[in-house]
Amino acid sequence: MTSEHTNAGHNPDVLTCIANLSNDEVFTPPEVANAMLDLLPQKLFRNPDTTFLDPACKSGVFLREIAKRLLKGLEKKIPDLQERIDHIFTRQLFGIAITELTSHLSRRSLYCSKRADGEYSVTQFDTPGGNIRFESTRHTWDDGKCEFCGASQSQYDRDEALETHAYEFIHTTKPEEIFNMKFDVIISNPPYQLSDGGAQASAKPVYHYFVEQAKKLNPQYLTMIIPARWYAGGKGLDEFRDDMITDTHIQELHDFPNTDDCFPGVNIRGGVCYFLWKKDFDNQKNLVNVVTHDGDKTNSMHRSLKYRDLDIFLRYGESLSILEKVMSMCDDDVVAKYVSSRKPFGLSTDFVKTKKFHLTPTGMNTPIRCYGKGKKIGYVEFNDIPNHQEWIGRWKVFTSRANNIGTELNDDNLNAFIGKDEICTESYIVIGAALRFSKTEANNLAAYLQTKFVRFCHSLAKTSQDATSKTYRFVPMQDFSKPWTDEELYAKYGLTDEEITFIESMIRPMDGGDE
């Protein structure tokens, strides 16, 4: 249980090494676990009655680091080391492992033995599991989906010898009956998502179920580290997002737009965050401390998680004054109103693999040029186009259905281009088709979408590469009979030098070279 310090070229902590693995069940580095524990009142670690639960044990790092603090904090109250160890491990620390393998790993981390009743365990239990339990749980299928977590039956209805990822903590309506006790602190890094059986490795978030279930246990404190996509997107997260931004008990939120600043070597689009939920805190009286991490730099701002009547959380507090100015002048005339649905012409991404997608127009009756993923060009018969045939012959802007704006990657919206007689699959969305633009106006709109000003406004409603019409909700419309420059836009909305500097610091270069 001692901490070791060695030269920079060698790190002996196996949990740090494991934390570098990348998957949907990301292991927590000890440094991150301790940063989360630092949010808690440290008097908790001097109280022999404080109880802690990790409902999604993987490496056991949270319980191990808590044990270190309790061993030091209770030294005066329980002077005998073995008596102190026995008390802490049997009465204060509890965990629920997410797999049988992680139960062994967690016990090894905490008890120094994968069997809590083994001779090498630092404290003796009557059972091999000790206070870190793992119960094989099954999904409850309803019409091909698990009614608790939404997992796909086709993906996870497996032989009992295989891991089903039916996590015990969220596969019950009565989580309080798992241990039949009250917990003062719940802390965890839950699994993030499960395959939902959709196309192209589609996955459904599950981390929010752990947060919701933990709140049902009504602890004094709750802290979890989760993906940040809930801020503005995420499949099935609308209700969770509303609950979070209106939850009066959230005291502090730490935001990591670049996941690498929290989980080195792990790539989670949109970043991650951890929060402190305190039972007796009211953030309507005392604002939430929002801390943004950027490498070694941090920026703190006390503010509300909910801004006006918006149904999303705006990641950067510095953006609020900019958004206020832009929205006050646009009279709700925003680009989002002129953005097509996910499938502009009713053609899926996989349409290019069908016989109706022709590589040449030879032998076709009324061939219509079609753009597929990666600007792959083919041809479709006019009568085989399900939707918006009336848009053919109008000038419009095509842009990717997914882009890197608002992510840690360089922007890739140089593929905003105009067309008139062309269509596209769902790899692209269409903007302005209903406006009957001239070629000049369409060109000016395409160029407008590539300004730093627009890319910044677009980024405010994004936490991933997904670029639906909703993500253009803060991009104001303009008179496109003329082109627009960033300087003109900054002046039009009365932005200060500080606001302009912030915008330009946030917007990454577009792929393809200098702007």
Given a cut of 70, the residues of the chain with pLDDT beneath it are: 1-24, 161, 196-202, 408, 412-414, 511-515
- According to DSSP, the residues that pair with 302 across neighbouring strands are 289
Q: Are 169 and 175 in contact (CB under 8 A)?
A: yes
Give tens-digit pLDDT for 216-226: 999 999 999 99
- Residue 305: left (phi > 0), alpha (psi -120 to 50), or beta? alpha
The per-residue pLDDT for 73 is 98
Transcribe 422-466 into DSSP letters. Answer: -EE-TTEEEESGGGTB-HHHHHHHHHHTTSHHHHHHHHTT-SSSB
Using the 8-state DSSP alphabet, how is residue 260 labeled?
Answer: G
Domain covering 14-317 in this structure, CATH number:
3.40.50.150
- Which residues make up the CATH 3.90.220 domain(s) of the chain? 323-506
Give dist(CA 435, CA 380) in Å, integer. Answer: 24
The per-residue pLDDT for 500 is 97
Token look-up 């989670």 returns 268
The per-residue pLDDT for 279 is 97
The per-residue pLDDT for 200 is 53
- Which residues make up the CATH 3.40.50.150 domain(s) of the chain? 14-317
Give dist(CA 273, CA 256) in Å, integer. Answer: 6
Burial (CB < 10 A; 0-12, 13-18, 19+), residue 141, is: middle
Give dist(CA 173, CA 385) in Å, integer. Answer: 47
The CATH classification of domain 323-506, taken from the options 3.30.160, 1.20.120, 3.90.220, 3.30.450: 3.90.220
Give dist(CA 337, CA 393) in Å, integer. Answer: 21
Assign 3-state DSSP to the chain and report helix, strand, coil percentages, each to 5.
30, 20, 50
Give tens-digit pLDDT for 251-267: 999 999 999 999 988 88
Q: Give the list of residues 6+ apart from residue 325 with CB closer than 8 angstroms, or none.
A: 493, 494, 495
The per-residue pLDDT for 415 is 72
- State the pTM of this model: 0.86
Structure tokens, 501:
């500097």
Q: Are 80 and 110 in contact (CB under 8 A)?
A: no
